Amino acid sequence: MSNDSQIKDLVREKYAAIAEQSLEQNAASCCGATSTCCGEGTYTIMADDYTKLEGYNPDADLGLGCGLPTEFAKIKEGDTVIDLGSGAGNDAFIARRLAGSTGKVLGIDFTEAMIARARANAEKLGLHNVEFRQGDIEDMPVTSNYADVIVSNCVLNLVPNKHKVISEIFRVLKPGGHFSISDIVLEGNLPSKWREVAELYAGCVSGAIQKQVYLEIIGQAGFKNIVVQKDKPIHIPDEILANYLTADEIAEYKTGNTKITSITVYAEKPAKDERNCCEPGSGCC
């Protein structure tokens, strides 16, 4: 990927196609599209089982997540919640069940087709306190100090500028607010060839960064009480790896020090901002 704009165009195109597909098609693919790009077997490589959570709606589940952030997000009755990369609305509807009729849930997604599908699902469910807004989570269409809780499921790894999106999360959270985010991270070095494969980038692997760097970015943005709530290894079958790597490269990858994991991270925005920032809008923080 040569620049951020090209990455965003790739992700937008890929997830527009995904919006038209079923859970079965998406769950069978490491790249979040049809199974043709990742072999013909059926695999649920990253997604966790949502079906037992209250508020679950099968029409909104595209099988694209890598965790259950709403399960850890400490959402209370009356909370205002933002779901970043809301897709067809899966996490947003579960968050709404927790926030109740007095709460509010805002889903933000980059892709017009996803927004249309999520809005249609919300209308079918008759949920009038769930809104879906198209926008770039590096520059959220939301006022500052808006949300009590932010959740996101396997989305930030798709964002080129992770510093920017984490700083945006800090901006839109209320003082004392918190987030719970599930994402793909790395330990060790990913094979360089993977960085060049568009399908894997749009499927959350090649866009992942080192786990320690990910946690450091969160701390640098001003968040406190950072906790890894869940750490789950991701095992990619040989049949899928064979689409991108030679047999020798697969063997080297499997015996090397690279580890791909899904983590769910919790962090809090301090009730008082003590970062010694410049004036608002100056770009210092």
Residue 62: name the closest of 97, 129, 109 by CA: 109
Residue 77 Ramachandran class (φ > 0 left, ψ -120 to 50 alpha, else beta): beta
pLDDT at 11: 63
DSSP 88-142: TSHHHHHHHHHH-TTSEEEEEES-HHHHHHHHHHHHHHT-TTEEEEE--TTS-SS
46-105 pLDDT, tens per residue?
667 777 777 877 777 777 788 999 999 999 999 999 999 999 999 999 999 999 999 999
Q: Do 60 and 89 form a contact (C-beta atoms < 8 A)?
A: yes
pLDDT at 31: 41
More confident residue, 12 or 185: 185
203-213 pLDDT, tens per residue?
557 678 899 99
Q: CATH number for the 4-268 domain, one of 3.40.640.10, 3.40.50.2000, 3.40.50.150, 3.90.650.10? A: 3.40.50.150
DSSP state of 71: H
Dist. CA 85–CA 89, nearest whole Å: 9
Residue 93 Ramachandran class (φ > 0 left, ψ -120 to 50 alpha, else beta): alpha
More confident residue, 259 or 275: 259
Residue 36 pLDDT grade (very low, low, confident, very high; cuts 50, 70, 90): very low
pLDDT at 37: 40
Three-class SS state of 61: coil
Strands, E assignment, the chain: 80-84, 104-109, 130-134, 147-153, 173-187, 209-210, 224-233, 259-268
pLDDT at 153: 93
Model's pTM, two decimal places?
Answer: 0.82
More confident residue, 148 or 1: 148
How much of the chain is in helix, strand and coil states, percent to nearest 5? 35, 20, 45
213-237 pLDDT, tens per residue?
999 999 999 999 999 999 998 888 8
Residue 194 pLDDT grade (very low, low, confident, very high; cuts 50, 70, 90): confident
